[in-house]
Each structure stands twice: as structure tokens, then as C-alpha cells.
């Protein structure tokens, strides 16, 4: 009986059929795009889809890229463990979408870039560009390893699927359609994978509602268990989730992910007009709302079913990340193929993120490292190079899965990685985009200071996790279990058996202060320390008074008005240029020459 603990069923033949069929169908879409676009093998086509993508598929791809298998596995467990505070990220998504669409998209679109880090060379120098690219590569490899490993581990221990067999298969499928199809294959495959992810959540909620007697009963159980107390206005920055940490810190964290992360930038600059690029972010915002809402409600459904028998405290599972797979096998095993659909949903998220990461890693490597050194490559050489790099980075991401096994709770670990690295990088971008005073010396020094301090607090927080007083786990119990590990069945606080989340016997003095800073403030802390340090050091070293800076490199007042460039755009001289005068439906003058490694770059860096 569901909710009473003990072993659950394993995969049936139909589950394997549905799982394999869904994944192969997703790969088939990627291969179809590869065959359809086989006549155009240019770098712009492979890395940017020929800059002809429209808003809706790009928006779904943007959503799928970071609503990964980690979201499918981790967010419901988060809601079960800590309640619905995670729902407040809806505010963060709205703020992030507005800032990215109105500040970053017009600037990047105007400059006609392929790699987000081209801007750093245009504004500062080549060394800073290469450092920014290297930081992105390290961050993405770590994150992608976590994305591959975490769902595979959780599903392996619940369904019996071979861990490393699934890891290699996941990476291999992504490598195939990324290598052959480029960005178009990634985006259109993301669209299907997004639908599958949402279908998996709906299946869990629908079956849970039938078992519990309706959605109202699930909501009432969550209320009685304290899971609906989302609004905590305590300003303490050491508390893991409050209104302020999520809305303020979370907004900056998501801005750092969407505004300067190559995986996301590459998608919206592939749109054929600036209007489509902006719209893709607003549609993506709605997609994020829907996804996080379904994920959180899946967690509430899980709590309603297991409110009297916590599977972790009862010893049925070993980590919180196995909660949702355990639930699926517990309540859906009687419906052949449905558990397979859920597993496909988790792996669709994984495939989406991995394929996006591989494509973005290829883009920054080609644009930032190879093209500047080898300027006379033929189209055929570039095509083979793109394919070879796709295979290489796919193998690297699979290898990084081993490192990810030591990262602890998957959802927090994933967001912490972005906070520690993207926060200082965002501070560098904003220093260059908003302030003419910032120079290369100040920018680089500020980023190093910001990165060092953020890594210090972030790694310290991984080694010495905050106590329950700061994380506020909600109580669970095992009163209704068929079996328990211990005789005591009173309410038990949540505990995790993941090694790095166990509290060490000896905690240093900084463990309960500095290292307990909410992980959502990592990006904000890194951004502010970088910007302040960069401005101060730039003023000390003379600023940019002697340099003639191109006005295209800074945020314009006109950029902040939504969709002003849908039909017309400005050239670098400030004059409007009608979109009808531009080829290929592109409404920005920087895209007249789609080979952005030449004219657009020269235009933006010309003194």
C-alpha cells in the first residue's frame, strides 16, 4: 500500500520500452534537424542555427536547459523537505527575465556576438576574455557532470538501471545529435524534452490525487504539516531560504545564469529579430513558472502520501534525491509504461542540459580560442572541428560525473556552482556595461577578489554545512510505516546520508557565521565585491580617461524600452535603420555579416 514504507516494484518490460522509445525519439528529432540542414555546414548554422530561430522554440529550450533532471529529481524533494518557499522563485524568474531582456539582450544583439565572452575583449582585453571563457568551461563541466550523475544515481538505486551504463548512454545520445545537428537539433529536441518533463510531473500529481482523494486533500495535508508557510521575512542572510534570500539573492543568481552564461546567450542571439530574442525570455519566464509549480506540487503530493512514513527515516532510501523515483515506483508501478515515462522525463531534462552545455562549450572554444589563432579555416575544416569538439566535450562531461558524486544535495549543489563562479563574472560584465571608469586592471583585479572571496565562503559551506537552525528542515515521522530501523517512531528531523552534508565533529569558528551564508547570496556577494573592487582599483589606476570607448559597449537608455527594436534598430552611429533593409529577416546591423568573427567584432572594437 502506498505510503506505508518497504520495498517497491522495479521496472517492467513496458517501462523499458517507453523509456528507450522516448529517448530514441528525442535523438531522432536531433538527427532529423541534422539531415534537413546538411546543405549548410557553416559555423553560424552549427552554433547559432543560422540566426533564424523564433521565440517559442527558443523559449522552451531556455527553460529546458536549466530545468534539468536535477529539477525533476531535486525540486519535489526540496518541497517535501522544506516546504513551498521554493515557489517564491517565481518572483526571481520575473526579475531575471526583465533584466536579461532589457539590459543584456539588446547589447549582445547589437554587437553581433557568438560567444558571450567576446564582449570582455571588446570592453577590456583578450586576457580577460580568455579568463572568462575558462571560468565558464570549468563551471559548465562541473555542473553538467552533476546533471548526468545525480539522476542516474537516484534512478539506478530505485529502478535497477545500471549506473555507468546509463551515464555513458546519456552522454553518447547527446554527443550524436549535438555533433550532427548543431544548435537547431539541440533546440528542437529541447522542445520535446520539455513536454516530457511536464508530463512526468502531471502523471505523479494525477495519480497522487486519486490515491489521496483529490488535490484539496493534498493541499490540506501540506498545510497541516507546515509545508505551506512560504513567506519568511527574516532578514538574516544566514538562513537558507527566506523571502529576501530567494527574491533578492535568487534573482541575481538567475540573472548570472541567463544573462552571461553561454548556454543561454547562444539561444536568444540565435533569434532572427531582437523582438523574438526578448520575447523568448518572457515566454521562458512563463515556462519556468509552470515547471517549478508542477515540481513543487509534486513534492506536496509526495508529502501527503508519506506524511506518516518518511522513506528516508524508515531506511527505504539512502538520500533525499531518491524520494521522487521511490514515489513513482510506489504509486505508478501498476500502470505499465508510466514509470518509464517518468524516468524518461528525468533523463529528458538531463539530455537537454547536457546537449546545451556541449553545444555552448564548442561555441566558446571555437570563437575564443581557435578562430583568433586560425583565421583562414575552410568551412569543411570548421565543420569537422565543431564535430570533433562536440565528441570531446561530451566525453569530458561524462568524466566529470565522477567528481559530481561528492557534491551533496543535487539542487543546492547545482545552484551553488553557478553562484560561486557566475556571480563575480556578472560583476565584471556590469562594471564594464554601466561604468566608463572601469579599466582592464581594475576589472581583472576586482573579478579575482570577488571570485576568491566567493569560493572561500562557498567551499566552506560545502565542507561545514549550516545547522538545522539555519536550514529549517520540517519534521517527518515514521508512525505509519510497516517497518522502521529503530523502535522510536516519534517525529524525526530530516537527515541526509550524503557524506558532505553530515556535520563534522569539530566545526571551526567561521562555520556558524561566514560559512553559513545562504547559498543564494553567493552570486550577489560575488557580484558586489567584484564591482566595488573593480571601480575602486580602476579609479586608483587612472580609469579610462585616455581611452576612446565605443558607445555600443554600454547600456543605452533606449535598450530598456521593451520591443522598441522589433521593427527598427539603431546602428552604431545612433541612426535608425529599417529592418526591411537587412537580409535574412535580421533587424540588427551587426548581423549583416553573419560571420561575427570579422566585421561585427571589428566594428565594436574600432577606436
Q: Could you please report the per-residue DSSP string of 291-318?
A: HHHHHHHHHHHHHHHHTT--TTTTTS-S
Band of the pLDDT at 607, cuts 50, 70, 90?
A: very low
Strands 568-570 and 576-578: antiparallel
User: 387 or 127, which is more confident?
Assistant: 127
Q: How far apart are CA 417 and CA 202, in angstroms?
A: 29
Q: How far apart are CA 176 and CA 185, in angstroms?
A: 10
Query: Whole-structure pTM over 0.85, yes or no?
Result: no
pLDDT of residue 181: 54
pLDDT of residue 487: 40
**Minimum mean pLDDT range among 229-233, 254-258, 472-476, 546-550:** 546-550
Strand partners, 577: 569
Confirm if 426 and 527 have CB atoms less than 8 A apart: yes
Domain total for the chain? Answer: 1
173-176: long-range contacts (C-beta < 8 A, 24 or more apart)?
A: 173/23, 173/26, 173/27, 173/351, 174/351, 174/354, 174/355, 174/358, 174/394, 175/358, 175/390, 175/391, 175/394, 175/395, 176/27, 176/30, 176/31
Band of the pLDDT at 177, cuts 50, 70, 90?
A: low
**Minimum mean pLDDT range among 72-86, 476-490, 545-559:** 476-490
Question: pLDDT at residue 230 above 80?
Answer: yes
Q: Which of 114-123, 494-503, 557-566 has the highest mean pLDDT?
A: 114-123
The predicted-structure confidence for 308-354, as pLDDT tens digits, reads as follows 888 888 888 877 878 888 888 888 888 888 888 777 777 766 766 77
pLDDT of residue 606: 47
User: 510 or 484, which is more confident?
Assistant: 510
State mean pLDDT over 278-299: 91
DSSP state of 53: B
- Name the helix (H) or strand (E) containing 37: none
User: 517 or 54, which is more confident?
Assistant: 517
**Minimum mean pLDDT range among 41-50, 189-198, 361-370, 553-562:** 41-50
- The verdict on residue 5 lying in a domain is no
Instruction: Output the nine-digit C-alpha cell for 186.
Output: 539541440
Task: Give the mean pLDDT of the chain.
Answer: 77
User: 347 or 591, which is more confident?
Assistant: 347
pLDDT of residue 80: 92
Confirm if 342 and 203 have CB atoms less than 8 A apart: yes
Confirm if 514 and 459 have CB atoms less than 8 A apart: no
- The verdict on residue 416 lying in a domain is yes
State mean pLDDT over 3-17: 76
- The verdict on residue 606 lying in a domain is no
User: 5 or 510, which is more confident?
Assistant: 510
Q: How far apart are CA 149 and CA 405, in angstroms?
A: 7
Q: How far apart are CA 47 and CA 251, in angstroms?
A: 28
Question: pLDDT at residue 221 above 70?
Answer: yes
- The verdict on residue 3 lying in a domain is no
What is the rounded radius of gyration, in angstroms, for the C-alpha atoms of the chain? Answer: 24
In degrees, to the nearest 5, what angle opens at C-alpha 384 toward C-alphas 379 and 387? 125
- The verdict on residue 70 lying in a domain is yes
**Minimum mean pLDDT range among 44-48, 226-230, 497-501, 517-521:** 497-501
The predicted-structure confidence for 190-200, as pLDDT tens digits, reads as follows 777 778 778 88
Confirm if 553 and 547 have CB atoms less than 8 A apart: no
Q: What is the dihedral of CA 306, 310, 314, 320, to 10 degrees?
A: 120
The predicted-structure confidence for 21-35, as pLDDT tens digits, reads as follows 877 777 777 677 666
Question: pLDDT at residue 589 above 70?
Answer: no
Give the three-class secondary structure for 229: coil
- The verdict on residue 522 lying in a domain is yes
State mean pLDDT over 258-287: 85
Instruction: Output the nine-digit C-alpha cell for 419.
Output: 553562484
The predicted-structure confidence for 560-588, as pLDDT tens digits, reads as follows 654 454 444 444 344 434 333 333 334 44
Question: pLDDT at residue 168 above 80?
Answer: no
Q: How far apart are CA 113 and CA 266, in angstroms?
A: 9
- Name the helix (H) or strand (E) containing 48: helix 43-48
- φ, ψ of residue 476 to 5 degrees: the values are -130, 170
Domain, as residue range, for 285: 13-481+503-600
CATH number of domain containing 173:
1.20.1730.10
- The verdict on residue 496 lying in a domain is no
pLDDT of residue 53: 66
Within a 13 Å sphere around the CA of 258, how many CA atoms are in the beta-carbon half? 37
- The verdict on residue 188 lying in a domain is yes
Q: How far apart are CA 555 and CA 88, in angstroms?
A: 29
User: 606 or 476, which is more confident?
Assistant: 476
pLDDT of residue 37: 56
Of the candidates 321, 342, 396, which has an alpha carbon nearest to the alpha carbon of residue 151?
A: 321
Amino acid at each position: 500500500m502506498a505510503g506505508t514504507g518497504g520495498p517497491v516494484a522495479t521496472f517492467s518490460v513496458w517501462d523499458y520500452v517507453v523509456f528507450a522509445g522516448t529517448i530514441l525519439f528525442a535523438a531522432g528529432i536531433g538527427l532529423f534537424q541534422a539531415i534537413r540542414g546538411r546543405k549548410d555546414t557553416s559555423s553560424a548554422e552549427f552554433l547559432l542555427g543560422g540566426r533564424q530561430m523564433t521565440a517559442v522554440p527558443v523559449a522552451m529550450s531556455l527553460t529546458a536547459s536549466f530545468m534539468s533532471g536535477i529539477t525533476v529529481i531535486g525540486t519535489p524533494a526540496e518541497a517535501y523537505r522544506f516546504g513551498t518557499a521554493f515557489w517564491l522563485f517565481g518572483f526571481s524568474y520575473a526579475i531575471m527575465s526583465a533584466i536579461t531582456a532589457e539590459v543584456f539582450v539588446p547589447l549582445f544583439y547589437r554587437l553581433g556576438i557568438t560567444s558571450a565572452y567576446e564582449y570582455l575583449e571588446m570592453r577590456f582585453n583578450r586576457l580577460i576574455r580568455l579568463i572568462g571563457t575558462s571560468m565558464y568551461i570549468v563551471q559548465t563541466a562541473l555542473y553538467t557532470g552533476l546533471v548526468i550523475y545525480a539522476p542516474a544515481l537516484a534512478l539506478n538505486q530505485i529502478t535497477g538501471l545500471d549506473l555507468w551504463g546509463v551515464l555513458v548512454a546519456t552522454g553518447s545520445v547527446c554527443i550524436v545529435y549535438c555533433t550532427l545537428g548543431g544548435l537547431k537539433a539541440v533546440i528542437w529536441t529541447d522542445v520535446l524534452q520539455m513536454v516530457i518533463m511536464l508530463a512526468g510531473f502531471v502523471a505523479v500529481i494525477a495519480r497522487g490525487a486519486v490515491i489521496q482523494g483529490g488535490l484539496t486533500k493534498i493541499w490540506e495535508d501540506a498545510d497541516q504539516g507546515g509545508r505551506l508557510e512560504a513567506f519568511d521575512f527574516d532578514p538574516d542572510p544566514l538562513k537558507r531560504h527566506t523571502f529576501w534570500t530567494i527574491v533578492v539573492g535568487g534573482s541575481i543568481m538567475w540573472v548570472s545564469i541567463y544573462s552571461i552564461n553561454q548556454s543561454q546567450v547562444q539561444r536568444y542571439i540565435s533569434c532572427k529579430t531582437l523582438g523574438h530574442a526578448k520575447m523568448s525570455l518572457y515566454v521562458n519566464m512563463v515556462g519556468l513558472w509552470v515547471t517549478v509549480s508542477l515540481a513543487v506540487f509534486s513534492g506536496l503530493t509526495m508529502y501527503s502520501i508519506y506524511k506518516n512514513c518518511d522513506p528516508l527515516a524508515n531506511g527505504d532510501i539512502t538520500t533525499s534525491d531518491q524520494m521522487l523515483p521511490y514515489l513513482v515506483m510506489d504509486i505508478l508501478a501498476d500502470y505499465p509504461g508510466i514509470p518509464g515515462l517518468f524516468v524518461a522525463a528525468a533523463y529528458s531534462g538531463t539530455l537537454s542540459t547536457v546537449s546545451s552545455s556541449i553545444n555552448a562549450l564548442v561555441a566558446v572554444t571555437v570563437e575564443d580560442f581557435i578562430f583568433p589563432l586560425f583565421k583562414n579555416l575552410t568551412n569543411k575544416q570548421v565543420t569537422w572541428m565543431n564535430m570533433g569538439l562536440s565528441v570531446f566535450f561530451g566525453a569530458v562531461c561524462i568524466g566529470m560525473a565522477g567528481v559530481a558524486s561528492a557534491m551533496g544535495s543535487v539542487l543546492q549543489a547545482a545552484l551553488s556552482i553557478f553562484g560561486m563562479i557566475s556571480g563575480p563574472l556578472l560583476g565584471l560584465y556590469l562594471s564594464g556595461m554601466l561604468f566608463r571608469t572601469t579599466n582592464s586592471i581594475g576589472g581583472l583585479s576586482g573579478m579575482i577578489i570577488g571570485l576568491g572571496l566567493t569560493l572561500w565562503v562557498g567551499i566552506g559551506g560545502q565542507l561545514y554545512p549550516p545547522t538545522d537552525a539555519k536550514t529549517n528542515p520540517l519534521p517527518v515521522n515514521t508512525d505509519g510505516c510497516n517497518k522502521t530501523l529503530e523502535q522510536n517512531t516519534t517525529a524525526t528531523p530530516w537527515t541526509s546520508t550524503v557524506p558532505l552534508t553530515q556535520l563534522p565533529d569539530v566545526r571551526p569558528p567561521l562555520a556558524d557565521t561566514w560559512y553559513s551564508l545562504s547559498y543564494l547570496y553567493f552570486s550577489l556577494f560575488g557580484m558586489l565585491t567584484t564591482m566595488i573592487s573593480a571601480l575602486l582599483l580602476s579609479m586608483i589606476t587612472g580609469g579610462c580617461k585616455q581611452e576612446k570607448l565605443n558607445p555600443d559597449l554600454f547600456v543605452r537608455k533606449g535598450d530598456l524600452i521593451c520591443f522598441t527594436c522589433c521593427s527598427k534598430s539603431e546602428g552604431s552611429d545612433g541612426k535608425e535603420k529599417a529592418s526591411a533593409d537587412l537580409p535574412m529577416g535580421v533587424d540588427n546591423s551587426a548581423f549583416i555579416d553573419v560571420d561575427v568573427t570579422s566585421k561585427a567584432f571589428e566594428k565594436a572594437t574600432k577606436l
